[in-house]
Amino acid sequence: MAANVDIREFNGVAPGTPTTKTSGRIRYKDADDANVDLNNPIVRPGAGSVYSYEKVLRLRIGATGPTGSLTNPRAFGDGANGYGTGITLEAGVNGSYVQPVNTNSAIATVDFFTYNSGSPLALDANNPGPYSGTNVDIADFLYLQSEVASTASPGLTGAETITIAFDET
């Protein structure tokens, strides 16, 4: 039987309050919460850039663990920025939880759209597997943050797909 693995979003002060993302959706905004709503939008600045609060995600093995183990957790997109001019998505990993900020991240990040299925972002640099057990958080924390420049078009952006995968034996 395959393991039950959830993605959880962490918000607030350490150790963070986890929310299981059963909908599979996150929203970049000017609030440190897991709500997927239109409240607290990122307002395009007149000059320079502004940042969303970081979205902090982590995998969790649920009530059904793997028969063997989980390895090679990774995250990637399709390699193309569908948000449009003036909007970027930065990504990085950290071994422990750091409270999300809406300023330039303290976590080392790079353009998320450089990661694709052939060259994914490893999610086990700090907390390496293999992973097993039940009801346990695994792998590194994935930090995602949107940066909006004054050159961005006004209005809502389209959705982007972030794939988080792992191998199970």
Q: For 91-144, what is each residue's pLDDT tens digit?
A: 999 999 999 999 999 899 999 999 999 999 999 999 999 999 999 999 999 999
The count of structural domains within the chain is 1
pLDDT confidence tier of residue 158, bands split at 50, 70 and 90:
confident
Instruction: Report how far apart, in Å, the C-alpha atoms of 80 and of each of 42, 58, 68, 153 are.
Output: 22, 23, 35, 18
Q: What are the pLDDT digits (tens) for 104-116?
A: 998 999 999 999 9
User: Residue 28 belongs to what domain range?
Assistant: 5-168
pLDDT of residue 115: 97
Distance of CA 113 to the CA centre of its chain: 13
Q: Determine contact, residues 39/29, Cβ cutoff 8 Å.
A: yes
Query: Is it the case that residue 1 has pLDDT exceeding 90?
Result: no
